[in-house]
Amino acid sequence: MLRTWVARGGLRQQRATGVGVPPVVVFGHASVALTGLLVWLGFLKTRWDPLAWTGVGLIASAIALGVCTVTLWTPYPVIVPPVAAPAPAPLAATPPADAFSVTDEMIADLLADPFPASRRPRLKLVPLIPVVHGFGALTTFMLAVMAAISTRLGMFRSQYWCSGPVRACGRLGSWQKR
């Protein structure tokens, strides 16, 4: 999403007009999320509790900046005044001599305004990208909080897996084989 915003001139447009999402919010959202990911990877490597909670805090900050971004990007409902329909063109004064004859004017009118080709309507999935991104962020936050809580309670370490071929394994039971 960040790449698309930059590639489509979002940064230039915001600098030129001052309208839109400030670059600090957009780049802050991406950088806090990446920092949270790096801190979380550090937690996975070291299993140190403070890193887990720091990662949860950074993920929560990234979610807050993401909500700000969506709020600023979403356009407000605006009432658009109806456009006056153009007056219809007057009909020809004299009808053609033959009802089945084709004139140069008929051909020119058809070439100027042809019938639209019948196409199957395309699905517009672009609005789903931020929705899926938001659900992914909330899922990540939920899983990070659950892992941090389980670390605090001492259940994150390998209490659920056996080291031998058959052994009583925490909550899995003695029937579990590795």
Domain ranges across the chain: 22-75+128-157
- What stretch of H or E contains 154? none
Dump pLDDT digits (tens) for 53-104.
999 999 999 999 999 888 887 766 666 677 776 666 665 555 555 667 778 8
| pLDDT score recorded for residue 47 | 86
Q: Which of 151, 135, 157, 154 is nearest to 53 (CA)?
A: 151
> Torsion over CA of 56, 62, 65 and 66, rounded to 10 degrees?
-120
Dump pLDDT digits (tens) for 1-56.
778 777 888 778 777 777 777 888 888 999 999 999 999 999 989 988 899 999 99
Full-model pTM: 0.59
